[in-house]
Amino acid sequence: MSALLPATPGPARLLAFDTSTELMAVAVLCGGVEGTRNEAGGAMASAHLVPLLQTLLAEVGLSLRQLDAIAFGRGPGAFTGLRTSCAVAQGLAFGASVPVLPIDSLLIVADDARAQLGGAQAALDVGVAMDARMDEVYAARYRWAEGAWACVLPPGLYTLAALAERWRLDAPAVVAGSALKAFGERLPLPDCRRIDTEADRAAALLRLAAAAWRAGQGVDAALALPLYLRDKVAQTTAERSAAKAAASVDAGALP
């Protein structure tokens, strides 16, 4: 059940979405035709995600059962957002009998930063720092080389002081992510290029989904699991309602 699919050449038909942050990113690829949306997400993303998926599929003339795979942001990120993303991916993929492509949500930030820098670099070292609230940061480090990303430091949860010390000893060339604005001078960084705003999260997600499909990284829908880096002690009523709604999604919600 966990075996990777063989590498698949040529154009693909993919649906991709990420709800791990306050921005909901949704994208579809049908051969050479792309559709992307970046919209407000947050705790209520589950109420808007499926209608947006319906809209994008209709725009490119695809039904759910014509897809090759469904990509989703697995985290790290907001608890309810990850529940939404994983539950919707599982429900739709089970119903359509297609694999899922789990995408590192911090890698989306790195690829967006690469695009903002021109996208033509032969090599690039990117540290990602996302606001995790409670004076903590979700951080990771990636290297772009030979047309592909490699994870140098996997996603982790850091205090401001711990991350600053780690990067003081071994600084990335570029640091990107929401923690730069959220914490400002409270997160001291070494001399590096800083990118504190994402330009097109959905486009970056779609590039990563297409690369994952070509590399044969599809897995069974049962493995559409979130990457949690912090235990969730309690949920608000709104969060519980959002998670319950997301878990009820199935293929019948889409054409």
pLDDT tens for each residue of 132-180: 999 999 999 999 999 999 999 999 999 999 999 999 888 899 999 999 9
SS3 40: strand
pLDDT tens for each residue of 112-121: 999 999 988 8
Looking at residue 43, its pLDDT comes to 62
In angstroms, the Cα distances linking 138 to 13, 23, 131, 190, 199 are 31, 16, 6, 18, 19
Above pLDDT 70, what percent of the chain? 84
How far is Cα of residue 18 from the mean position of the Cα atoms in its chain? Answer: 5
Q: Residue 79: how many CB atoms within 10 A of its CB?
A: 20
Q: How confident is the model at residue 238 (pLDDT cuts 50, 70, 90)?
A: very low
Architecture of domain 106-195: 2-Layer Sandwich (3.30)
Looking at residue 189, its pLDDT comes to 86
Cα first-last separation, the chain? 26
- Locate the domains of the chain by residue range: 13-104+200-253, 106-195
Query: Cα–Cα distance between 232 and 36 in angstroms, integer?
Result: 31
Residue 6 has pLDDT above 50, yes or no: no
Q: Tell me the average pLDDT of the chain.
A: 86
pLDDT tens for each residue of 191-223: 889 999 999 999 999 999 999 999 999 999 999
DSSP string, 131-188: E-STTEEEEEEEEEETTEEEEEEEEEEEEHHHHHHHHHHS--SEEESTHHHHHGGGS-
With b for 16 or more beta-carbon neighbours within 10 A and e for fewer, the 146-177 pattern comes to: eeebeeebebbbbebeebbebbeeeebebbbb
Residue 122: burial class (beta carbons within 10 Å; 0-12, 13-18, 19+): exposed
Looking at residue 252, its pLDDT comes to 55
| Type of residue at 168 | R
Q: Which fold, 13-104+200-253?
A: Nucleotidyltransferase; domain 5 (3.30.420)
